[in-house]
Structure 1
Amino acid sequence: MMIYITRREQFNAAHRMYREDWSEEKNAEVFGKCANPNWHGHNYNLFVTVKGNLSYETGYLIDLKDLKQIIKDYVVEKLDHKNLNRDVDFMEGKMASTELLCIEIFKQLKAPIEAYEGVFLHSVKLFETENNSAEYFGE
């Protein structure tokens, strides 16, 4: 019996949307306020959904304490109160958009989550604001 479980976590991070190979004017034209040279930040809400077959022995798919710890160790500790452009190893050389951040978070979580027998990472949904989010289901 396939079941889906979602865990929500939060983190705060700063970023700047810009390309070094473009002028300040071009960056401002394309990215608007998000190209602010003094950075800007968001209070992100992260939703991680896993799926698999329910264990009738334990009554759950994965111990949520374990899922919480994986998300904390592989994502939140690396992102919380950090600059996405400068401080996050898995974002190095990438545009710090919510879309790319969502994909990279998925990549960080896939192996540690799927190390649990019968548990699969279904999706990562990342809210940058209450109105803007990205969701990634893997390739």
Structure 2
Amino acid sequence: MMKVTISRKGHFSAAHRLYNPHWDHNKNIKEFGKCAYINYHGHNYEYIVSITGEINSKTGFVFNIQKLKNLIHKEIDIFFDHKNINVDIEEFYDVNPTMENIVIFLWNKIKKKISSNLNLKITLYETKNNFAEYDGS
């Protein structure tokens, strides 16, 4: 049977700071630039959640898009929106909240909620030009 990919876009606003506590301030500034400033900084993140699978012959869906909308609203939007990722999200207390680490975290949250026979890819835009993609591989 043929596989089809469906996608849904979303967005959230959040602050973070890139910082390695094992380095001194100067090394952090050298590596992360203004992203290491002590007062944090924010982004208007955008993301795309894509699910690939076979079309269900009874529903005509790969995955119900309304269920996907509700799932990402709960698991991503509410979870991240207007949060300081370093301070408000326990999973990032000891993990540098780079776009790479955030996209893997998002993928793990959503993958647990969908059928194992579906493939998942998430694209996270930190800016319009900077983005990371993760598909579990």
Partner of 1:107: 108
2:132 is matched with which residue: 127, 131, 134?
A: 134
Partners of 1:38 and 1:91 lie apart in 2 by 17
Is 2:93 the partner of 1:92?
yes
- TM-score normalised by the chain length of structure 2: 0.92
Which segment is superposed worse, 102-111 or 50-59? 50-59
Alpha-carbon spacing, 1:65–1:90, altered in 2? closer, same or farther (3 Å): farther
Q: How many residue pairs are counted as aligned between the two chains?
A: 136
SS of 1:112's partner is coil
Partner of 1:125: 123
Where in structure 1 do 4 or more consecutive aligned residues deviate above 4 Å? none
Identity of aligned residues (%): 36
Partners of 1:75 and 1:114 lie apart in 2 by 18
Partners of 1:63 and 1:19 lie apart in 2 by 41
CA deviations over 1:69-113 (Å, ceiling 9, x no partner): 111222221111001111113323111100110011101110102
Listed as ranges, the matches of 1:43-122 within 5 Å are 43-114=44-115, 118=117, 120-122=118-120
Q: Which runs of 5+ in 2 are unaligned?
A: none
Q: Which runs of 5+ in 1 are unaligned?
A: none
- TM-score normalised by the chain length of structure 1: 0.91
Q: Aligned-pair RMSD on alpha carbons?
A: 1.4
